[in-house]
Structure 1
Amino acid sequence: MIKFFFCVLFTLSLQFSYAQQDTLSVEEKESLMLEELKNTEDEGFGINLYDPLAPSKAAFYSAVVPGLGQVYNRSYWKVPLVYAAIGTTAYFFIDNNKQYNRYRDAYKQRLTGQIDEFDGVLSNQNLIDAQKQFRSNRDLSLLLVFGAYVLNIVDANVDAHLQQFNVTENLSLKPEAQQNFLTGGLNFGLSLNFKL
């Protein structure tokens, strides 16, 4: 019976304490909400809350359409750089592939006894060497296209991570210069500030 009495008393005390919290006026609730919103907005580059999925979203968007992850991160100036890197390397891949096919076809024509565009200009060994060189350049260009594509994805992911990095004044490393009163000169240093 005593346990029942204490349980009822505990439950009523919780109800009264909960009721006291609800006695705030509408203006006080709004001011508390605005204060809380202001505190969360001051914590970074204007990002209100930490979104753990933002880096993976940015990387996914860049994997689907190169440059879309940079748009998602609002780094619009990086989009032309992404397309310039991928476009330039793709251009060299296409050009080297075209030149490789040109010298290969000329060598095949020469082997069948036909007259090719390099007849009298290049020997058979020169055609073979040109094929090797353009094939090597083509393969390297393909690796660079792939590297530019992967770099686009990595950049979007890292940029999304860094946008959520806390850069408030609560933790800072500042250069500091103080006058030395004994010698009259300046003492330079760094101060590490941490505020709770």
Structure 2
Amino acid sequence: MTRNFLYSLVFILGGCLFTFGQVQDSLEIKSVMTSTEDAFKLDLYDPLAPARSAFYSAILPGLGQAYNGSYWKIPLVYAGIGTSLYLVIQNDTEYNRYRDAYKRRLAGFTDDEFQNILENEGLINAQKQFRQNKEFAILATVAFYLFNIVDANVDAHLRQFDVSKDLSLKPNFEPNYLSGNIDYGLTLNFKFN
């Protein structure tokens, strides 16, 4: 009696698995059909899009990001360039204050704003420091401007890659033939079409 029960149980489970496999295959065929239909709806590859995007960003910072549709990057571009330009102007103003005071002292005047605060050596050191800070701020401005162009170019390149939305993570059970145990793991599957 137990032997007949086991045979019938194996038969029923096998039939269920076979049926599940058939349903799974039909679902895969439908998903392949819809993905091929969607493939024809994709935009064609535009080899000039990265160059156009970089050109737009070179003309007006942030315009290349707008061309790519990355509108959230535009405030970051202007914050970087604007902050560094502010530092250029601020350090230039301070440099001119200390330079004018030093020039007035060399001309024999004793009425500058740093008269009782700094000696001549202090004015010279302050000029050097503010000039160095201004030069670093100019470099930062140029770096943000160039980064804006490179970002627009790279973003346009990356938008043209076909990335499948079917990235699946599945549990994996494999028998270990050496130890006789079952090894557990996860499998990450990529489909490259």
TM range (shorter): 0.7 to 0.9
Q: Percent identity?
A: 51
1:100–1:130 CA contact under 8 A, matched in 2: yes
Q: How many residue pairs get matched?
A: 154
Unaligned runs of 5+ in 2: 1-34
Corresponding position: 1:106 with 2:101 = yes
1:40–1:49 CA contact under 8 A, matched in 2: no
Please state how far the C-alpha of 1:186 moved relative to its aligned partner.
1.6
1:40 aligned residue? 40
Q: Any idea what the Cα deviations from partners look like across 1:62-106, whole Å, max 9, x if unmatched?
A: 000000000000000000000000000000010000000000000
Q: Does the residue aligned with 1:168 lie in a helix, a strand or coil? A: coil
The CA distance in 2 between the partners of 1:71 and 1:87, in whole Å, is 18
Q: Does the residue aligned with 2:162 lie in a helix, a strand or coil? A: coil
Q: Does the residue aligned with 1:52 lie in a helix, a strand or coil? A: coil
1:106–1:117 CA contact under 8 A, matched in 2: yes
The CA distance in 2 between the partners of 1:116 and 1:109, in whole Å, is 7
Please state how far the C-alpha of 1:137 moved relative to its aligned partner.
0.2
Unaligned runs of 5+ in 1: 1-34, 42-46
The letter of the residue matching 1:118 is: F
Corresponding position: 1:147 with 2:117 = no
The CA distance in 1 between the partners of 2:63 and 2:191, in whole Å, is 37
2:114 aligned residue? 118
Q: Does the residue aligned with 2:163 lie in a helix, a strand or coil? A: coil
Corresponding position: 1:94 with 2:95 = no
Please state how far the C-alpha of 1:166 moved relative to its aligned partner.
1.6
2:50 aligned residue? 55
Of the three residues 161, 177, 183, the one matched with 2:171 is 177
2:77 aligned residue? 82
The letter of the residue matching 1:156 is: A
Q: Does the residue aligned with 1:159 lie in a helix, a strand or coil? A: helix
Give TM-score scaled by structure 2 length. Answer: 0.73
Of the three residues 182, 186, 191, the one matched with 1:188 is 186
Q: Does the residue aligned with 1:122 lie in a helix, a strand or coil? A: coil
Q: Does the residue aligned with 1:113 lie in a helix, a strand or coil? A: coil
Cα RMSD after superposing both structures: 2.3
Q: Does the residue aligned with 2:172 lie in a helix, a strand or coil? A: strand
The letter of the residue matching 2:68 is: N
Q: Does the residue aligned with 1:120 lie in a helix, a strand or coil? A: coil
1:163 aligned residue? 159
Please state how far the C-alpha of 1:173 moved relative to its aligned partner.
6.8
- Please say which of residues 175-184 and 47-56 is displaced more in the overlay: 175-184
Query: Which structure shows the higher helix fraction?
Result: 2
Please state how far the C-alpha of 1:174 moved relative to its aligned partner.
5.2
Q: Does the residue aligned with 2:71 lie in a helix, a strand or coil? A: coil
Please state how far the C-alpha of 1:183 moved relative to its aligned partner.
3.1
The CA distance in 2 between the partners of 1:80 and 1:54, in whole Å, is 22
